[in-house]
Amino acid sequence: MPDFTPEKVQQQMYTRERRGIFRSTEGFDTIARSLGLEHGFIKKVLHPFCQYDAPAELTARSEKEAAAYPDALHLFQAETGETVLGRSVYQPADFTGLRSAFFTHNYVLPPGWMEQAGTDYRKLLNAQFADQYDIEQGTDLPELVDLPEAEGAQEMAPAEVMALLEELHIDEKVYKQLLFAAMSSISGKKKVYIVLDVPVEQLSVKARQLLNVLYGSLPYALRRELGFLTYAKEPQSKKGIHLTFVEKGGLRLGDRSVEKDYLFELAARRVINVDLDWSKQPYLDFAWTNLRNPERAADFYAFADQMMEGMEPIRRISVAGYHELCVLYQIDQGREDLYTVHPGPVLRCILEYLSTPGALHAKARLNQLFLTRFDRELDRVKLAEVPGTDIIESIKDYYAIDGKNFGLRIVEYFIRTINNALSQQREDIAQAAYGMLEGTPALSRAFFARVLSSPGLPGLLFEPYIEKQLKQAATASDLVKLAGAWVQNHPIVLENTVFTKLADTQLMDKLGRESDPVRAVNAVMDQLDDLERDPGRGLGQIEGGSRFVDRLVYAANLFLLKDLDLERLSREQLLDIGFLREPKELRSWVSRFDARVRSKANVMLSLYQWFGTDHPKREDVLDGLSFAERDQVQHIGRNWLKREVKPEVFDWITLAFCQDVETGAVDYGSLLDFVYKYGDSPETVYEYIQWSANQPLFVRPRGLVPAYAAAIVSFIKRNDPGAFRNKDKVKRYFDSAPPALQPAYARARGELAPSWMKFFRNNRKPIMLSSVLLIVVIAAGVTMLTLQANGAFDRKADPVDVKKPPVASQPPATETATEIPLLTAEQVKDGDQGETTELTFHFKQPEACRNFKAGEVTVLDKDGNILFEAIDPQTVSQCAADPDAGTDSVSGDASADKSTDGQTTDSAGTSGTDATDSGQNGESSGVSGTDAAKDGQADTGGSSTGTTKAADGTAGTDSNGEGTGTNQAADSTTGSAGGKDDAAAGSGDSSNSTSGEETDGAGTTGTVGSGTVLTDEYISTVTLKLGKKLDIAKIEKVNASGGSFVLTADHGQGNTDQGSVDTSDEKASDDQLSTEGK
């Protein structure tokens, strides 16, 4: 790789040849270059600009003359800092002579070259380029010391400039728009495309001339950045190119790629996307007038370039920056009217350019301009004028630039300005000036040092201000911080009595507003300690600073002593008060105050002695207090103790009810009530009583203090009368009570005993004598009766045999096996609702029928899906009599937990008539009377003839009597049986069958069934009314009564998959088989 010489100009040539540097075959390639150029730079940076598209107009007429084709001069800044200046020209024939080509010659200017020579834009526009190159001369080009210039280049006179603009149809407005677009394009992203109204052969020449004019109106920083292309067939957006001259007809307004760019179609007199507020374009006005005054323009550009030193790069190429600088230049040239209109912005602008390092010397011209304006502003305030805040702030900021030389004059300016504002009631200006001083500590120190040391000025400019500042402090901590900063920055303020008094009073005022004043005081104490001991700027190092700190500490403690509300104080807050730890010093301090303050100090000390020790003595706490002070201390103490009544603080609680220090008298009743009410649990009071048995305030040598014993009894009777019935409490507290407490507990137990026990205890002797006498009388009577029974008083008689009557033996109770019912389903009509589904459980055993409770009912299909679900649906039970007893039947409707409506006869078979509450008992007549019990059970001792009517229309008699009625017991029955809707005739023979007629709750007549004649073994049923219609074909099983029942396919059999199956399942199966056999 060849050595690179950055201070020299490199060259590169590009055209169509037999071979090149980067290719061995014919084609377009770099054919020669300086050895200082890297291959990567040539390919990446230079090759994209090596191109030429012939004008459409010339191509259309097949122009052969090379001179007719405009050359394309380009200039741009590479990202690596180099500047590329090149030219592309048209070649009618290449090395073959058969086709056209182009030739590009580029100069690569080293970084920094534009900074040194770039201000001479004429060098760029008049550079000399090669039109062709013979590769036989070699591929290496020399490095140049400078850019070669073409001969005959001359500077354009102002008249020539104006003539050119007129020729190109560019008036003042269009020129300003073009200048603005060029400057904006450099600092922004938009491109500028220009179509000149000239023949295409002259396009590049006129473009160079117009660029010459534009360069003359651009400041130096913008000249160094501007990139251009003097000819393009169509708009091309290339990086680094800001200004492009396009062939006529090449700019299409509908092209979306250029719709946001600056478009100057001068041939059609159109300017697009350049709309300006002409009242705010001072630089454009200035540049237009300078077209006729190039010397003035050159002086301004030198001024502007000097003022831009040290500024940000973006500001150096911004249009706004040159708006400002042209105004400053014109003011410097004597245009005072420009300053008078906007004095604040002008001063601010000057300060911005003076804020860079070394600006006072490098920009002395601008600094002098500011000082001249400042003298003028100082003269104005001396005449009692009130300046605007923008002017005041600019002068304040100059203090940071050159306060060393002009600080006193700036302080004088502020004193006069604030004084003028206050005297003219311009409070807003005065406060704004004070605020500016606060933000500039150095200026503030100088200002207040001058004010505080000048007679008359403190009361005018300091005291009203500092009073407002201290009052505006939000918290006590903020006030201490503010006061400390004033003392640190202005030690002379300690000599001002108004300031020190304000600090005291405002501190106490702020503490009174704190939600936790004690914590605030302690924080202030710590803050003042830090301020005093700060090794850098501690107040202890300032004369009078420690006295000022002591003054604030005293004020904080005085607030606690005089203004603190003890009733709102917590125990923790009181214990945090520092001066209570030194009672002797406190009593000495408060002795100088009035009785109210001394009394408050006594209360605070007593509370501190009480709650500051684990086992306080009443002498230390209550001795020396007046009655009012003692009451206040105990009142506050009780309020604190309400939240923590527990064994650890029993000592403290006792003091809260101590009535006399010498005698140790205690308000025992209130004490016990307090512990009971606020204790952690209701038993805390008994723990307290246990604890008190060892305390001298409660116990005397003979036992409990009588008043305390009476208080215990009264407390138990009033608040816990059932205490002695609580076994746990008796065991824990009463049975194991200390000896001193047992008499009191015994008395309480006795007074809470029942009346009969009290009577027995109060009349024990008479009752004992009466009992003995009664026992004697009873013994004598028993003896006499015994003798009489043995015939001691009769003559002796013959013995008589007495036969005991036979005792009828009771038949052994039979245990009923658990029966699995048969399950059937049917659709029934339900008035206007149409058909609904009913499930019927059929039982052989009446007892199983009566014991059946549906509970939660779930109907499932074959896949286990729920078809229906209900809890305790409406049921109808029809249970027959037991086979070994009298007629026992139940018939009626039952829902949920309601009792069965019907007639029942007990299983023992006694004669009688059973009627439920909802049934109806008719008249009964017979040989022997009928005894009807209230619970619906009747027993008849002999034969009975009568009629009993139940709610469902059934009646019956027991098996031991003869009965005549609607329902008769018989061994054989002949009647009609069928469903609820349809009657079916049939006959049956069974020892336990019922002859007659059954009527259901709805009044329909028929036997229970599902529409199919069942075997006569199933004599009892329970029907579930689902209230909706289900598809019976989908029903697989029903979960009810704690079991799972399979729906019977035909009505002669029943199955169940109930989990608990005993031998009764086999019996049921046998019964079903026998029924099928019949």
Lowest-pLDDT choice from 100-104, 762-766, 772-776, 913-917: 913-917
**Highest mean pLDDT of the ranges 359-368, 694-703, 772-781:** 359-368
Residues 180 and 234 in one domain: yes
517: Cα within 13 Å, side-chain hemisphere: 22
List the single range of 256-265, 673-682, 887-896 with lowest mean pLDDT. 887-896
951 versus 8: which is more confidently predicted? 8
- Do 242 and 303 lie in one domain? The reply is yes
Whose tokens are 């109806």? That residue is 920
- Say yes or no: 173 and 307 in one domain: yes
Q: Helix 282-290 to helix 172-187 angle, to the nearest 10 degrees? A: 120
pLDDT tens per residue, range 572-612: 999 999 999 999 999 999 998 999 999 999 999 999 999 98
Q: pLDDT value at position 842?
A: 92
Instruction: Give the model confidence (pLDDT) of 972-1001 as tens digits.
Output: 333 333 333 333 333 333 333 333 333 333
Would residue 30 count as lying in a domain?
A: yes
The Cα angle at residue 114 between residues 113 and 116, in degrees rounded to 5? 70
pLDDT score of 887: 41
pLDDT at 1 over 70: no
Would you state the pLDDT for residue 757? Answer: 64
Give me the torsion for CA of 984, 986, 991, 997, rounded to 10°: 40
* Shared domain check, 214 and 97: no
The number of domains in the chain is 3
Q: What number of other Cβ atoms are within 10 A of residue 841's Cβ? A: 26
Is the residue at 1049 inside a domain?
yes
C-alpha distances (whole Å) from 751 to each of 280, 325, 686, 721 are 106, 109, 18, 10
- % pLDDT > 70, the chain: 80
pTM exceeds 0.75 for this model = no
CA separation (Å) from 1023 to 163, 347, 407, 1028, 1053?
A: 120, 107, 112, 14, 17
pLDDT at 759: 63
Residue 351 lies in a domain: no
- What the block records as the tokens of 965 is 């009625």
Residues 23 and 131 in one domain: yes
Same domain assignment for residues 211 and 250 = yes
pLDDT of 1026 reads 84
**Pick from 360-364, 399-403, 615-619: least confident:** 615-619
Task: Give me the pLDDT at residue 812, please.
Answer: 46
Tell me, yes or no, whether 123 and 192 share the same domain: no
How is the beta sheet containing 1055-1056 ordered, strand by strand? 866-871, 856-860, 1037-1040, 1043-1046, 1055-1056
pLDDT per position as a tens digit, 483-541? 999 998 889 899 999 999 999 999 999 999 999 999 999 999 999 999 998 887 888 88
pLDDT at 1006 over 80: no
Residue 940 has pLDDT above 70, yes or no: no
Q: Tell me the pLDDT band of 924, cut-offs 50, 70 and 90.
A: very low
pLDDT at 872: 80
Q: At residue 842, what are phi and psi to the nearest 5 degrees?
A: -105, 130
Cα–Cα distances (Å) from 533 to 488, 542, 545, in that order, read 13, 11, 11
DSSP annotation of 190: -
**Residue 684 or residue 802, greater confidence:** 684
Q: Residue range 391-417: average pLDDT?
A: 95
Which residues contact residue 380 at a Cβ distance below 8 angstroms, ignoring those fewer than 6 apart? 387
Q: Using 50, 70 and 90 to split pLDDT, how confident is the model at 321?
A: very high
Closest by alpha carbon to 877, among 855, 893, 888? 893
Of 299, 318, 341, the residue at which a domain comes to its end is 341
| Mean predicted lDDT score pLDDT of the chain | 81
Cα distance between residue 969 and residue 972, in whole Å: 9
- Any domain includes 172: yes
Q: What is the DSSP string of 841-860?
A: EEES-HHHHHH----EEEEE
- Average the pLDDT over 734-755 and give the result: 86
Q: What is the pLDDT of residue 851?
A: 86
Give residue 1040's identity as a one-letter amino acid code.
Answer: A
In angstroms, rounded to a whole number, what is the distance separating the alpha carbons of residues 433 and 389?
A: 7
pLDDT per residue over 190-214, tens digit each?
999 999 999 999 999 999 999 999 9
Supply 290's token pair: 């300078």
Given a cut of 90, whether residue 153 has pLDDT beyond it is no
Average pLDDT over residues 904-931: 35
For residue 122, pLDDT over 80 is answered with yes
User: Whole domain around residue 1044: which residue ranges?
Assistant: 819-881+1001-1078
Amino acid code (one letter) for 879: C
CA 230/CA 203 separation, integer angstroms: 8
Examine the fold and report which residue of 141, 169, 193 is the final residue of a domain before the chain moves on. Answer: 141
User: How many angstroms separate the CA atoms of 973 and 880, rounded?
Assistant: 14
575: in domain: no
- pLDDT on residue 117: 59
The mean per-residue pLDDT over the stretch 791-820 comes to 52
Mean pLDDT of 698-707: 88
Q: What are phi and psi of 156, to 5 degrees?
A: -80, 135
Residue 802 counted as domain residue: no
Residue 767 pLDDT class (50, 70, 90 cuts):
confident
Average pLDDT over residues 693-712: 89
> Which is nearest to 836 in space by CA: 991, 634, 659, 1030?
1030
Predicted pLDDT at 209: 96
Burial class (CB in 10 A: 0-12, 13-18, 19+), 779: exposed
Closest among 437, 392, 445 to 417, alpha carbons compared:
392
Per residue, the 3-state secondary structure of 517-586, as one string, reads HHHHHHHHHHHHHHHHHCCCCCHHHCCCHHHHHHHHHHHHHHHHHHCCCHHHCCHHHHHCCHHHHCHHHH
Q: Residue 57 above 70 pLDDT?
A: yes
Domain contains 846: yes
In this structure, the answer to whether residues 52 and 198 fall within a common structural domain is no
Q: Distance between CA atoms of 703 and 739, rounded to whole angstroms?
A: 8
Confidence of residue 793 (pLDDT cuts 50, 70, 90): low
Question: Is the same domain home to 97 and 182?
Answer: no
224 and 124 in a single domain? The answer is no
Determine, yes or no, domain membership for 587.
no
Cβ-based neighbour number of residue 1059 at 10 Å: 8
Which pLDDT score is estimated for 637?
92
Average pLDDT over every residue of 744-759: 78
Q: Supply the pLDDT for residue 489.
A: 86
At 403, the pLDDT band (50, 70, 90 cuts) reads very high
Q: Are 79 and 115 within one domain?
A: yes
Please report how the helices 755-762 and 764-789 are oriented relative to each other, as an axis angle in degrees rounded to 10. Answer: 90
Weakest mean pLDDT among 540-544, 555-559, 1058-1062 = 1058-1062
What distance in Å separates the CA atoms of residue 183 and residue 516, rounded to the nearest whole number?
Answer: 64
Contact 927, 944 (CB under 8 A): yes
Q: Are residues 127 and 169 in the same domain?
A: no
Structure tokens at 154: 């001359």
Q: Which of 341, 360, 384 is where one domain is finished?
A: 341
According to the per-residue pLDDT averaged within each range, which of 109-113, 228-232, 305-309, 859-863 is highest? Answer: 228-232
